[in-house]
Structure 1
Amino acid sequence: MSDEKSTNSADEGSADATDERRFDTSSSTGSASGTTERSRGERREPVPSNRFVTDRRVTLAATFVVAFCSIAYELVYSELLTVFFGGTVLRYSITIGLYMFSLGVGSVLSAQLGEPESNFLRTEVYLAIAGPAGAMAIVAVNSLPAMTFSGKGQLVLALSHVPILVVGVLSGFEVPLLTDLVEDREGTVFASLGRLYPRRIVRGVLGVFFAVGEPDERSFSEVLGVDYLGSLAGTVVYALLLYPRFGLVVSVFALGLVNAVAALAFAAWTFSGSAFTLSRPTTGRWRTVLVVGLLLTGSYAGLVAHPNAVDRAVTTTYLERTIEGEFPAGTADVRARSYDTTPYQTVLTYERDLEGHAGTETCLHLDQALQLCDRWVDSYHSGLVDVPMSTFDDPSSVNVLLVGGGDYIAVDHLREYNASVDQVDLDGEFLEMAREREFFRQYNDDAYEYDRLNTTTEDAFTYMQGTDETYDLVLLDVPGVRNDETLSLYSTEFYTLLREHLTDDGLVVTWTYTKGNHPSHHKAYTNTVREAGFDRYLPYYVFDDLDGDDELEAGERFYILSDGPTPEPALERAESDYIREYADTFDEWQWWTIPRYRGVDPNSVLHPNYDIIVDY
């Protein structure tokens, strides 16, 4: 503790012993009611009691805000790291661990800090800068140009975690600084609230397990209590309000705005009037910090006032660069057409020009996964729908469950067979988007109006647990397993539910990642499906002219899964122009026994196998 912050018996009554940075001694009464003793080996000079309470309330409010914003910043970082590196449990666990560690580092380093008022204000301003800047740094580091060098992956991963440490260390300064500012428990907001609970009962219960005594006058426990309360509020507000409404990008600027406003409020309230005497150099530093705070407040307020524009500008720029990075440098040009966020996913439509591909094609991305491009949208849905539908003698009698398919394109294909369709999709906003926007309507032909369609907006796993319906055909038109959020749709439990809701001759159809490109995923997925009770599969590709050079290339890969019947598609029954034109591209149909790979665990909800996640 610095000499400026303590007094001793030798000079207790002198003017030099007065903490001139904080209190004007001319306003001190020197009475017992205005004097506070601290039990940490030091004593403060008398202060005006009316100003004392006011300062305490402001300081505790600032404590709440700092904790609120700090924990919310870490949640933003965790989600960003999950987006870039996958593994939700791993990312959140590491973030929490690093954050707690850096809080401890900041607390230790705070022993070197003097001027608690000045340094607390600076901490608020620095957090207002570091919080949003950290999020943008994570995005920037993961958007590096498509270059390769030894250790690039490890370097990017390490740099992406630096913002966690920066925010954590700054937040660690908070409690020690605020403890120096909050001098007295009596008369505080929390002391007043303390009279509302049955103290005798509480002390009696505590006395069963602990040795209880009379409460001391230390402010540490009060500051820490407000700090924890702010952390709770930050997690709840972020999860229920900020992230669902604004997404990651705008949320982090909103948190920066709260930090900046709190810094200005703290400065204006605490240092207004004549209660403090500041030296000229100190006054100059304060002015600089306040100017920065004002600039941050204005900038963040402008960004938060236009959330859609900000989110679109940052996210589409990142996504454009990321998609281009999937191809060799200089061979792809990507331009976003529309960008939207729903409570469950990001929806990006874009135009792309690829070297060696004739013309421009328009594509759809959901989160990190490519869903369709107009050059192969028909071949994909013909493979998903028309090939398996051709295995049924009377397609109009088929009861179909469509999992996903929120663009209604698969429904349009099923309508050609007059089949009964139950569709379950989690994202109601995306379903509405597909009903209203021309990009989707050009492919689905208003199939949402099909009179034999029943659409349920619900999680597919939950739906399968609650329904008693059985199906002749289940079509899985679901996103790829690119992160933890879709793990349940690739689990043993989910495929077991599917099998249990099949009729005796029922089939499950899904697109799949190829074995050659994703061997780890293939092994985990295969063992998962086999563990769920399926023992045979019929594999096939669809072929199309993917690059416009009048040559056919292999497109999507599909599996038909069964635990009993092994029907052969009769493509002449398919109601598809694509199938009629390209029927001769399909190989001879052959059912195979689903293999089992030794040493590879199936993916389970309770025991996930993260090898099933595809990261490319």
Structure 2
Amino acid sequence: MAEEEGPKVDGPSLAFVLLLSVLVVATCGLIYELLAGTLASYLLGDSVTQFSTVIGAYLFAMGIGSWLSRYVHGDELGIFLRVELMIALLGGWSAAALFLLFPVVGDFRFALYTLVLAIGTLVGLEIPLLIRILKNRFAFRELVSNVLTFDYVGALLASVLFPLVLVPQLGMIRTGFVFGIANVAVALALIWVLRRSRRVGWDLAAALLVLATLVGGLANAEQLQRWSEVAFYDEPVVYARSTRFQRIVLTRRGDDLRLYLNGNLQFSSRDEYRYHEALVWPALGRVADPANVLILGGGDGLAAREVLRDPKVRAVTLVDLDPEMTRLFRDSRTLAALNRGSLASPRLRVENADAFGWIRRARGSYDVIIVDFPDPTEFALGKLYTESFYREVARILKPDGVMTVQSTSPLIAPRSYWTVASTLEAAGLTARGYHAYVPSFGEWGFTMAGHGALPATPRLPAGLRFLTAESEPLMYDFPPDMARRPTPVNRLDNQALVRSFAEEWGHYEG
């Protein structure tokens, strides 16, 4: 028996709306997939794992949706319209819902993948339904060509717009709502075309209701983001912004100002001096004439503050990926007071660039190199802890120069910590580990390195709040639970550090 095709409508206008809808639904579908993958990376870390599993689950769900489309008999237009509205509601609210759920649900991954599977299944229904609706309006060859062309163009639009425009300009929550509204627009366009050939009252009411929720969500996106972050950080949020590269959040409770990048604590103003004195002075103080200093990372200007204490330092180059980070800590009066205006110093030059690419192009040489990257929670950061990277750093470190690397906790993640030393040694450097207690982080580790034997004692300036000539030598003593152990070399092709870091910190936090 032939399938019921439903009432006839104006063929050219319907065909145009449906082909245009292919472009819109393809763009929206990929945006929801990218939102889920990016959000999972922000909240759970290890971007490769999160994107791989989210994309895999999403594509699997699309396959389920395509398979289920065989059970749709008749009124394909009506069902397609309702599927659009369900996708608009789920996809549009997906980012806001996941942000709000993360601090309060015990198993966030269950919520994440349930939503991914639901959206993916609905998206998988769309193209088969569209093909069946259009089959009597185009020759088969032309139909497949048109549908796939619009589908792939939509995917390209989403993949370009998402990182370059949507996340930095709108943020993830607003992006979800905007594309949910785009799905509703497709449904409303179909309702308009079909208004003379079928009853559309209930569909129109449903579309307007979904649209109202999405517009309301878009209007209150900033408040939704703040609710989620207050619940997540359990501290008053005083600044929050998504950039092309990360989510920057500042919280304040009393006199304690804290910086979080992608949910990970970077410093607390109450004790950051311990971390930054320990990071900078064991290396800087071991060079007799540290005229030229390179800081990799450290966009908050706090390591630069310590470096600029030394009057022997004539030039500092700071390389940090995110211009929003360095701008914020240069222009905010409160934050500039914390770093003592280091980012506006005439002795300092800021380079906003990816450190891996910058270091490979770098010429000249440096007396001291301070490496202050976030922990290797994902492969994009892990590459900055590899043998390849350290070889390039060693190339521009003067023969008598000294470098130091923040290296995570030797107590919580000893394998990860000592992997940094093994990797520096594989790059041809002499490495020496040391550690300090920072209350916000606990026992924290650093690794000093140079081309030969490292000087025994550093010169320390007056006015330091943590390091003294008596306490500095004690930092090189490791008790048995933090002592060195055999570890692999972290290379680009194995990223051993990212895996051990995720395992050790996951065990500690779990």
* TM-score with structure 2 setting the length: 0.88
Match of 1:534 among 429, 435, 438: 429
Match of 1:569 among 452, 457, 462: 457
- Three-state SS of the structure 2 residue aligned to 1:379 is helix
Q: Does 1:70 align with 2:44?
A: no
> 2:195 aligns to what?
272
> 2:226 aligns to what?
316
The CA deviation string for residues 33-82 of structure 1, in whole angstroms up to 9 with x for no partner, is xxxxxxxxxxxxxx8xxx21121111111122111111111111111122
- Three-state SS of the structure 2 residue aligned to 1:488 is helix
Distance 1:563 1:525 in 2: 16
Distance 2:281 2:250 in 1: 26
Larger-Rg structure:
1
**TM-fit CA distance, 1:175:** 2.1
Letter in 1 for 2:453: P
Kept in 2: contact 1:135–1:163 (CA 8 A): no
Deviates more, 1:485-494 or 1:534-543: 534-543
Query: Kindly tell me: are residues 319 and 577 of structure 1, through their superposed partners in 2, closer, same or farther at Cα, counting changes over 3 Å?
Result: same
Distance 1:604 1:130 in 2: 40
Please show how residues 120-159 of structure 1 align to structure 2 within 5 Å. 120-144=80-104, 155-159=107-111
Kept in 2: contact 1:403–1:474 (CA 8 A): yes
Kept in 1: contact 2:274–2:465 (CA 8 A): yes
The CA deviation string for residues 319-377 of structure 1, in whole angstroms up to 9 with x for no partner, is 333334xxxxxxxxx1111112222222211124xxxxxx6522111222212212112
Q: Does 1:481 align with 2:376?
A: yes
Kept in 2: contact 1:527–1:595 (CA 8 A): no
- Three-state SS of the structure 2 residue aligned to 1:109 is helix
**TM-fit CA distance, 1:226:** 2.6
> 2:123 aligns to what?
171
Letter in 2 for 1:557: G
Please show how residues 120-519 of structure 1 align to structure 2 within 5 Å. 120-144=80-104, 155-184=107-136, 219-269=143-193, 271-273=194-196, 276=197, 278=198, 283=199, 286-304=200-218, 306=219, 310-311=221-222, 313-324=223-234, 334-352=235-253, 361-394=256-289, 397-418=290-311, 419=313, 420-519=315-414
Query: Kindly tell me: are residues 259 and 443 of structure 1, through their superposed partners in 2, closer, same or farther at Cα, counting changes over 3 Å?
Result: same
**TM-fit CA distance, 1:382:** 1.8
For the aligned residue pairs, the C-alpha RMSD in angstroms reads 2.9
**TM-fit CA distance, 1:135:** 3.1
Query: Kindly tell me: are residues 477 and 218 of structure 1, through their superposed partners in 2, closer, same or farther at Cα, counting changes over 3 Å?
Result: closer
Query: Kindly tell me: are residues 220 and 512 of structure 1, through their superposed partners in 2, closer, same or farther at Cα, counting changes over 3 Å?
Result: closer
Query: Kindly tell me: are residues 417 and 53 of structure 1, through their superposed partners in 2, closer, same or farther at Cα, counting changes over 3 Å?
Result: same
Letter in 2 for 1:107: S
Structure 1: gaps (5+ residues): 7-18, 24-46, 146-151, 187-214, 325-333, 353-358, 548-552
Query: Kindly tell me: are residues 524 and 159 of structure 1, through their superposed partners in 2, closer, same or farther at Cα, counting changes over 3 Å?
Result: farther
> 1:328 aligns to what?
none
- Three-state SS of the structure 1 residue aligned to 2:465 is helix
Distance 1:595 1:526 in 2: 12
Distance 1:178 1:399 in 2: 64
Query: Kindly tell me: are residues 346 and 134 of structure 1, through their superposed partners in 2, closer, same or farther at Cα, counting changes over 3 Å?
Result: closer
Kept in 1: contact 2:421–2:447 (CA 8 A): no
Kept in 1: contact 2:421–2:433 (CA 8 A): no
Identity %: 24
Distance 2:291 2:453 in 1: 15
Q: Does 1:611 align with 2:499?
A: yes
**TM-fit CA distance, 1:119:** 0.5
Letter in 1 for 2:45: G
* TM-score with structure 1 setting the length: 0.74
The CA deviation string for residues 206-252 of structure 1, in whole angstroms up to 9 with x for no partner, is xxxxxxxxx75673453343333322322222233222322211111
> 2:7 aligns to what?
22
Letter in 2 for 1:117: L
Q: Does 1:97 align with 2:56?
A: yes
Query: Kindly tell me: are residues 589 and 293 of structure 1, through their superposed partners in 2, closer, same or farther at Cα, counting changes over 3 Å?
Result: closer
Distance 1:433 1:84 in 2: 23
- Three-state SS of the structure 1 residue aligned to 2:432 is strand
Kept in 1: contact 2:248–2:260 (CA 8 A): yes
Letter in 2 for 1:22: P
Distance 2:59 2:346 in 1: 56
Distance 2:28 2:48 in 1: 22
